[in-house]
Structure 1
């Protein structure tokens, strides 16, 4: 009996029973399970999908039967990743996982986002697609995949096509910039900047602080997990703790509904809501605008390692980098005047003056000759 839909008592969803058949022969089943759909149309779509998959599996085997769309369905994606996967699924959804290569995934960038950088292609196309494929590998034994990063030549070529540089050097904050910003800022934004400059906290970690995340007795704050690093207590200076404790706590507000939400130490509800306020503060202070990441995390590492000669390993540990080579490569910004360095090659070396040796005096008189 082919698959058929039926209603089951005390169940909101339609159920299915029977076998999947191919040319009159049973190839999968028997089925007696829920389709997970409360509508008949949804149940019929479930049967169509399951029948197609089982027939494909019967003809080409398990690995050949699994398509990218099948892998997407068993991947637990959040809202952001699901949005990224939609255009990818439309492009390669029917492609068997066994035939998807790293070259294929990288070729999707120019098709789906022709004006984006290679970094964006990697982050929004290759990374989520690779995660879907490798998740299917763990759950169903389909082939895993490894993808090489875009090369520097590919990045430069794409930047030339879109006439825009993808990796603009960040300018880190310094103590003078921080002081000027804080003089022009309100107490909450001044404290927010000083907190990130001192602890290398990311903006999302900083704005997520609630009053219960502050421990004045131990002079520490609880930073939430981010970028693969676990949540942990982080020590702060006594002056910083006093400033945090003195701040009036603010209730955040939903920008769409106006509904009051939880209390936050710095009063922001999202990691981007600080931007406009910071631009105004920088304009009033007469200083260039720096993002929270440049002012905090970049400023933190450059201040300690470049300006104060702190051991990079110690600075990386305190800033919660697992590998000191990463912040040295990305977050430590040189501050030496390049022209001054060049002058070293134009300065004539000073040659030491040769000391004059006194001439030997000739002896007067005849020498005895034997």
Structure 2
């Protein structure tokens, strides 16, 4: 679930994970951004995504911040009692309490928390350590500080080198990574998908819209048939963006029957273009379409936003500024790093070598391979 912000007690909080190539590269966030405005919260998300992505790609780490002298004289167990944990979080906290429950918060060093991963879950991935140890500990302590002086408790994640070492130890590379969709995949998928699901796939592929943005579209507020444009709702600090779409897509959007998501009040503002309440709504039919078409399963984000980035930047060579503007990326470097992927590298390199060789042979009148 990509990062999203929500309001709580007058402040904007964040929840979700940071993803790369359709795979989470961070633990689950559930914390305050300390922003009083939504824009500030999304700015926090962008900065956090940059930091985590940089660490994931380059193995770079930021310094760990120790708790200051104003840390309360409470133990971690005391802090847990003041924290309202979700059921799954509670199960994560039980073994953590056994190890560090008696330690005072002011003495809880980030390095100590990071070492709990190998101790409690010796054969798990670093992603699991982050999700089941670092994230809940950080949430418990920051919840304590949220009612005090605004101190923030930070624990850096695991480096790329640490991930590789742990994966080697346990004999696994972690969650499966999916290559971005292409036109071939999309056309085969659409051939076997129900009309609404087929349109959903084309919509995300052509606009770089996230699944959360796409299913939140209102049939009257976000579609302008006269101009041939759609509005991709704001997300992650970006504003609503109106963009032109292919006429085939507009025709399909206009043919949809807008619906109220199941269980929602039947009031005009709740009408949705695709009729889903959340990202899990279309998943079953999405999987079935892949199976019926006999093609590999590709999740929403990789079939949409990643596929758009790959199609524009790698396959079609579109100007990066144009691709970023249309796809809603404020940071072009982030688009290039996170949303473009190596594709047919050996063939491309060998073709390039051959082109360079032939040009040089024509210029010098010499041959790489001597005849006779």
Q: Tell me which residue corresponds to 1:245.
A: 254
Deviations 1:277-330 (A, max 9, x none): 223212322322211111111101001111222232442343333422222122
**Greater C-alpha Rg:** 1
Between the aligned partners of 1:320 and 1:72, the Cα distance in structure 2 is 39
Which of 227, 230, 244 is residue 220 of structure 1 equivalent to?
Answer: 230
Between the aligned partners of 2:96 and 2:159, the Cα distance in structure 1 is 22
Between the aligned partners of 1:252 and 1:164, the Cα distance in structure 2 is 40
Aligned 8 A contact 1:200 1:319 in 2: yes
Displacement after TM superposition at 1:91 (Å)? 4.5
Between the aligned partners of 1:78 and 1:232, the Cα distance in structure 2 is 32
Displacement after TM superposition at 1:79 (Å)? 7.1
Deviations 1:160-186 (A, max 9, x none): 233221264431111222122112221
Go from structure 1 to structure 2 and tell me whether the alpha carbon gap of 1:141 and 1:207 turns closer, same or farther (over 3 Å shift). Answer: same
SS at match of 1:221: strand
Deviations 1:207-228 (A, max 9, x none): 3334354242663335253xx4
Go from structure 1 to structure 2 and tell me whether the alpha carbon gap of 1:249 and 1:91 turns closer, same or farther (over 3 Å shift). Answer: farther
Q: Tell me which residue corresponds to 2:127.
A: 119
Displacement after TM superposition at 1:259 (Å)? 11
Aligned 8 A contact 2:241 2:328 in 1: no
Between the aligned partners of 1:101 and 1:128, the Cα distance in structure 2 is 15
SS at match of 2:231: strand
Alignment of 1:1-370 (within 5 A): 63=71, 65-72=73-80, 88-89=96-97, 91-137=99-145, 139-141=147-149, 144-166=152-174, 168-216=176-224, 219-223=229-233, 225=235, 228-229=236-237, 232-237=240-245, 239=247, 240-253=249-262, 263-339=271-347, 341-342=349-350, 344=353, 350=361, 352-353=364-365
Go from structure 1 to structure 2 and tell me whether the alpha carbon gap of 1:90 and 1:264 turns closer, same or farther (over 3 Å shift). Answer: farther
Alignment length, in residue pairs?
A: 289
After superposition, the CA RMSD in angstroms is 3.7
Go from structure 1 to structure 2 and tell me whether the alpha carbon gap of 1:316 and 1:126 turns closer, same or farther (over 3 Å shift). Answer: farther
Between the aligned partners of 1:214 and 1:74, the Cα distance in structure 2 is 43
Unaligned runs of 5+ in 2: 1-68, 367-372
SS at match of 1:183: helix
Go from structure 1 to structure 2 and tell me whether the alpha carbon gap of 1:270 and 1:80 turns closer, same or farther (over 3 Å shift). Answer: farther
TM-score, normalising length: structure 2: 0.64
Go from structure 1 to structure 2 and tell me whether the alpha carbon gap of 1:340 and 1:305 turns closer, same or farther (over 3 Å shift). Answer: closer
Go from structure 1 to structure 2 and tell me whether the alpha carbon gap of 1:235 and 1:118 turns closer, same or farther (over 3 Å shift). Answer: same
